[in-house]
Structure 1
Amino acid sequence: MIESEKIFIQSVGEKLKEIRLSKNLSQENLSLESDVPRNVIGRIERGETNAKIVTLHKICNALKISPRELFN
Protein backbone atom coordinates (compact mmCIF):
# COMPACT_ATOMS: atom_id res chain seq x y z
CA MET A 1 0.00 0.00 0.00
CA ILE A 2 1.36 3.40 -0.90
CA GLU A 3 1.69 6.22 1.59
CA SER A 4 -1.17 8.31 0.19
CA GLU A 5 -3.53 5.33 0.59
CA LYS A 6 -2.45 4.88 4.21
CA ILE A 7 -3.08 8.55 4.89
CA PHE A 8 -6.53 8.33 3.28
CA ILE A 9 -7.50 5.25 5.33
CA GLN A 10 -6.31 6.96 8.51
CA SER A 11 -8.23 10.15 7.75
CA VAL A 12 -11.46 8.19 7.16
CA GLY A 13 -10.95 6.41 10.48
CA GLU A 14 -10.29 9.64 12.33
CA LYS A 15 -13.41 11.20 10.83
CA LEU A 16 -15.48 8.17 11.78
CA LYS A 17 -14.27 8.40 15.37
CA GLU A 18 -14.96 12.14 15.47
CA ILE A 19 -18.53 11.65 14.26
CA ARG A 20 -19.13 8.71 16.61
CA LEU A 21 -17.93 10.71 19.61
CA SER A 22 -19.98 13.76 18.59
CA LYS A 23 -23.04 11.52 18.81
CA ASN A 24 -21.95 10.25 22.24
CA LEU A 25 -21.74 6.65 21.05
CA SER A 26 -19.27 4.09 22.29
CA GLN A 27 -17.72 1.65 19.86
CA GLU A 28 -19.85 -1.03 21.50
CA ASN A 29 -23.09 0.92 20.93
CA LEU A 30 -22.15 1.67 17.33
CA SER A 31 -21.37 -2.01 16.88
CA LEU A 32 -24.82 -2.98 18.10
CA GLU A 33 -26.54 -0.36 15.93
CA SER A 34 -24.56 -1.19 12.76
CA ASP A 35 -24.12 -4.95 13.13
CA VAL A 36 -20.37 -4.44 12.64
CA PRO A 37 -18.10 -6.06 15.24
CA ARG A 38 -16.63 -3.64 17.79
CA ASN A 39 -13.07 -4.72 17.03
CA VAL A 40 -13.63 -3.93 13.33
CA ILE A 41 -14.87 -0.43 14.21
CA GLY A 42 -11.76 0.06 16.35
CA ARG A 43 -9.46 -1.09 13.55
CA ILE A 44 -11.16 1.27 11.09
CA GLU A 45 -10.89 4.20 13.51
CA ARG A 46 -7.18 3.49 14.05
CA GLY A 47 -6.56 3.26 10.31
CA GLU A 48 -5.44 -0.35 10.57
CA THR A 49 -7.74 -1.76 7.91
CA ASN A 50 -9.14 -0.84 4.54
CA ALA A 51 -12.85 -1.18 5.31
CA LYS A 52 -15.23 -2.68 2.80
CA ILE A 53 -17.72 -0.24 1.34
CA VAL A 54 -20.59 -2.37 2.70
CA THR A 55 -19.15 -2.08 6.21
CA LEU A 56 -18.89 1.70 5.86
CA HIS A 57 -22.46 1.78 4.56
CA LYS A 58 -23.71 -0.07 7.66
CA ILE A 59 -21.78 2.28 9.95
CA CYS A 60 -23.03 5.40 8.16
CA ASN A 61 -26.62 4.16 8.38
CA ALA A 62 -26.22 3.58 12.12
CA LEU A 63 -24.75 7.08 12.55
CA LYS A 64 -27.48 8.54 10.32
CA ILE A 65 -24.93 10.23 8.06
CA SER A 66 -24.13 10.19 4.37
CA PRO A 67 -20.96 8.27 3.41
CA ARG A 68 -19.85 11.55 1.85
CA GLU A 69 -19.33 12.93 5.37
CA LEU A 70 -16.55 10.41 5.99
CA PHE A 71 -14.66 11.54 2.90
CA ASN A 72 -14.79 15.33 3.33
Structure 2
Amino acid sequence: MVRRDIHAARQILARNLRRFRLDKGLTQEELANAAGLRQALISELEAGKLDVRLDTLSRVALALDATVAELFQESKHS
Protein backbone atom coordinates (compact mmCIF):
# COMPACT_ATOMS: atom_id res chain seq x y z
CA MET A 1 0.00 0.00 0.00
CA VAL A 2 2.72 2.49 0.96
CA ARG A 3 4.70 1.73 -2.20
CA ARG A 4 1.64 2.37 -4.32
CA ASP A 5 1.00 5.67 -2.52
CA ILE A 6 4.59 6.77 -3.08
CA HIS A 7 4.37 5.83 -6.76
CA ALA A 8 1.10 7.78 -7.09
CA ALA A 9 2.65 10.85 -5.41
CA ARG A 10 5.64 10.70 -7.77
CA GLN A 11 3.33 10.53 -10.78
CA ILE A 12 1.27 13.50 -9.57
CA LEU A 13 4.46 15.47 -8.98
CA ALA A 14 5.79 14.51 -12.42
CA ARG A 15 2.60 15.61 -14.23
CA ASN A 16 2.27 18.84 -12.28
CA LEU A 17 5.93 19.76 -12.62
CA ARG A 18 5.77 19.35 -16.39
CA ARG A 19 2.47 21.26 -16.59
CA PHE A 20 3.76 24.17 -14.49
CA ARG A 21 7.00 24.28 -16.51
CA LEU A 22 5.21 24.27 -19.86
CA ASP A 23 2.67 26.85 -18.65
CA LYS A 24 5.64 29.13 -17.86
CA GLY A 25 7.12 28.45 -21.30
CA LEU A 26 10.31 27.01 -19.80
CA THR A 27 12.55 24.24 -21.06
CA GLN A 28 13.89 21.75 -18.55
CA GLU A 29 17.26 23.46 -18.79
CA GLU A 30 15.77 26.89 -18.12
CA LEU A 31 13.89 25.58 -15.08
CA ALA A 32 17.02 23.84 -13.84
CA ASN A 33 19.03 27.05 -14.16
CA ALA A 34 16.35 29.08 -12.37
CA ALA A 35 16.31 26.55 -9.52
CA GLY A 36 20.10 26.12 -9.42
CA LEU A 37 19.85 22.44 -10.33
CA ARG A 38 20.94 20.10 -13.12
CA GLN A 39 18.68 19.58 -16.13
CA ALA A 40 19.00 15.82 -15.65
CA LEU A 41 17.40 16.13 -12.21
CA ILE A 42 14.41 17.98 -13.68
CA SER A 43 14.11 15.27 -16.31
CA GLU A 44 14.14 12.53 -13.67
CA LEU A 45 11.52 14.36 -11.62
CA GLU A 46 9.26 14.73 -14.65
CA ALA A 47 9.69 11.02 -15.36
CA GLY A 48 8.68 10.14 -11.79
CA LYS A 49 11.98 8.32 -11.23
CA LEU A 50 13.50 10.26 -8.36
CA ASP A 51 13.18 10.50 -4.61
CA VAL A 52 13.58 14.20 -4.03
CA ARG A 53 14.64 16.17 -0.99
CA LEU A 54 12.30 18.82 0.34
CA ASP A 55 14.84 21.62 -0.14
CA THR A 56 15.24 20.62 -3.81
CA LEU A 57 11.50 20.51 -4.27
CA SER A 58 11.21 23.93 -2.64
CA ARG A 59 13.76 25.36 -5.08
CA VAL A 60 11.82 23.97 -8.04
CA ALA A 61 8.52 25.31 -6.69
CA LEU A 62 10.04 28.75 -6.13
CA ALA A 63 11.43 28.80 -9.69
CA LEU A 64 7.93 27.96 -10.96
CA ASP A 65 6.27 30.58 -8.73
CA ALA A 66 4.31 27.75 -7.10
CA THR A 67 4.10 26.12 -3.71
CA VAL A 68 5.27 22.63 -2.88
CA ALA A 69 1.65 21.78 -2.04
CA GLU A 70 0.54 22.84 -5.54
CA LEU A 71 3.05 20.44 -7.05
CA PHE A 72 1.24 17.57 -5.30
CA GLN A 73 -2.36 18.61 -5.95
CA GLU A 74 -4.31 16.07 -7.94
CA SER A 75 -5.75 17.57 -11.06
CA LYS A 76 -9.41 17.07 -11.86
CA HIS A 77 -8.27 16.35 -15.42
CA SER A 78 -5.76 13.58 -14.55
Pairwise TM-score range, normalised by the shorter structure? over 0.9
The residue identity in structure 1 corresponding to 2:40 is N
> Aligned pairs, how many?
72
1:14 matched residue in structure 2 = 15
The Cα of 1:68 is off from its aligned counterpart by 1.4
Runs (4 or more) in structure 1 with deviation over 3 Å come to: none
Matched, 1:4 2:5: yes
Secondary structure at the aligned position of 1:25 is classed as coil
Determine the C-alpha separation between the residues in 2 that align with 1:3 and 1:14. 17
Higher helix share: 1
- Any idea what the Cα deviations from partners look like across 1:21-54, whole Å, max 9, x if unmatched? 0110000000110001100000001000111111
2:50 matched residue in structure 1 = 49
The Cα of 1:63 is off from its aligned counterpart by 0.9
Matched residues, percent identical?
A: 26
Determine the C-alpha separation between the residues in 1 that align with 2:67 and 2:8. 21
Q: What is the root-mean-square deviation of aligned Cα atoms in Å?
A: 1.1
The Cα of 1:64 is off from its aligned counterpart by 1.1
The Cα of 1:8 is off from its aligned counterpart by 1.1
Determine the C-alpha separation between the residues in 2 that align with 1:58 and 1:30. 10
Q: Highest Rg: 1 or 2?
A: 2
* TM-score normalised to structure 1 length: 0.92
Determine the C-alpha separation between the residues in 1 that align with 2:70 and 2:8. 17
